[in-house]
A = this chain, B = another copy of it.
């Protein structure tokens, strides 16, 4: 078989059976190999940011990596922003990047570049095949490294001649390349003492918010009176009816500082102590209150579940029964269409077990407030802050969970970065409802402009923060890529559009003019 076939088989044998792809000439042998393995599903994206963002959404929901197929250094570069998001979310992902044939790389041909250099900043593991015999083993190793908990980015560079040459080599990943690190037992002891002392304790929980983890922190809180705050951008959270409530750290530093105010012991589990997203002039970026003692129990790559279990036992909280959200769907909204109304309509209409992909920018707080009482759902956030994540991640979530409706809450400015993903949603017939918050501005930047101390933007500055002139017509954009779409300017119109979208299989888009 060809090296390309060997790699496809190694990926499938290692449990990777979905490949999001945007191939070019140097990947044709991998593409040809797809038809030699019936298990591998391959999904085309019309831009690489769609491909990598889809792999992020897939990995977060499936708990295992998808492969991506990208074309040389520039193709990888186009996908890097969403690889960055996946890296920050610690999503497992295996990127396969075609490269010139080994003997062609010495020439300065047009598409030559330092592919390893492009891959390195956003990857946890990078390797390049040197022969057809090498690629199956490297494919298995890529999966092993991607599966290091909670997830890593593996990038395997595949020179064209390693894909077209013949080989009989096979390989299967043997499991994660390394086990999660042990939590700091001394820090757990100290944290447990602090929790039992009556001092004001705050548990800061990083990483994905599984039901078990959130429940564990709620038990500790219930037994000790501690406060619990999760990171702002948890990659995935189980929410809605039946879920245990947990507060997230506020995005803006002033509000985050308020949440943490008075903390005497900050107990950090599954991450690092909280900092602001950006630094601002004359505002603190380090959010741990002065004088508070930090108990760093474990980072995101360590065994967070074991740490929580130990801590629950240490404070005698295992018998606590945490409160849970109850189903209390709000009434359908009426009148003005705004983010709050959109959240209410969603909570009223959405099916059980939906997946919300959130890239809603400044509209996010209000629509999430409107969603109180919603049925059980998973919630995916923009963990790495690189916009252009929502439309692609919705693809990946829908591929991973074909029986669940995906609702992508999408800011208009961010949506434009990877708008091409709508076409893939149409081609694959994915059950994705995209709600575009069409406010025709980079609203968050207008807000941030003042916060960074640059008051009273002039006309040139304002024009950089404004998406009008001309207004984007999201209905045309979606229809241009085969996705049915409608526009809503009132809550009533939105209710009708959302009900119809949720009832119909396949993708559709609602431009919500807010």
Taking beta carbons and an 8 Å cutoff, which residues of A are in contact with B? 21, 23-26, 28-29, 31-32, 34-36, 40, 42, 44, 46-47, 49, 73-75, 77-78, 80-81, 84-85, 88, 100-101, 103-104, 107-111, 113-114, 117-118, 120-122, 160-161, 164, 233, 272, 275-279, 281, 285-286, 383-386, 388, 413, 416-417, 419-420, 423, 426-427, 444-445, 448-449, 452-454, 457-461, 463-465, 467, 469-477, 479-482
- Give the nearest-CB partner of A415 in chain B: B46
Q: How far is the CA of A122 from the CA of B112 in the complex (A)?
A: 11
Cross-interface CB contact of A482 among B44, B80, B471, cutoff 8 Å = B471
| A316 vs chain B, min Cβ distance (A) | 33
A-B contact pairs, 18 of them (CB 8 A): A23-B445, A31-B457, A46-B416, A73-B84, A75-B386, A78-B388, A103-B279, A107-B286, A109-B275, A109-B277, A117-B120, A117-B121, A118-B121, A426-B470, A471-B482, A475-B480, A476-B476, A476-B477
Cross-interface CB contact of A46 among B42, B47, B467, B469, cutoff 8 Å = B467
Residue contact A454 to B31, C-beta cutoff 8 Å: yes
- Given A161-B281, A278-B26, A417-B46, A383–B32 Cβ distance below 8 Å? no
| A359 vs chain B, min Cβ distance (A) | 13
| A165 vs chain B, min Cβ distance (A) | 8
Residue contact B472 to A34, C-beta cutoff 8 Å: no
Residue contact A419 to B417, C-beta cutoff 8 Å: no
Residue contact A279 to B44, C-beta cutoff 8 Å: no
From A103, A285, A417, A473, residue with most partner B Cβ within 10 Å: A417
Residues in B neighbouring A419, C-beta threshold 8 A: 419-420
| A81 vs chain B, min Cβ distance (A) | 4
Q: How far is the CA of A405 from the CA of B31 in the complex (A)?
A: 40
Residues in B neighbouring A482, C-beta threshold 8 A: 470-473
Cross-interface CB contact of A80 among B74, B107, B480, cutoff 8 Å = B74
Residue contact B276 to A28, C-beta cutoff 8 Å: no
Residues in B neighbouring A88, C-beta threshold 8 A: 110
- Give the nearest-CB partner of A426 in chain B: B470
Residues in B neighbouring A101, C-beta threshold 8 A: 278-279, 285
Residue contact A31 to B464, C-beta cutoff 8 Å: yes
Cross-interface CB contact of A84 among B29, B74, B272, B385, cutoff 8 Å = B74
| A269 vs chain B, min Cβ distance (A) | 15
Q: How far is the CA of A428 from the CA of B439 in the complex (A)?
A: 21
| A417 vs chain B, min Cβ distance (A) | 5
Q: How far is the CA of A479 from the CA of B49 in the complex (A)?
A: 23
- Given A81-B74, A101-B285, A461–B32 Cβ distance below 8 Å? yes
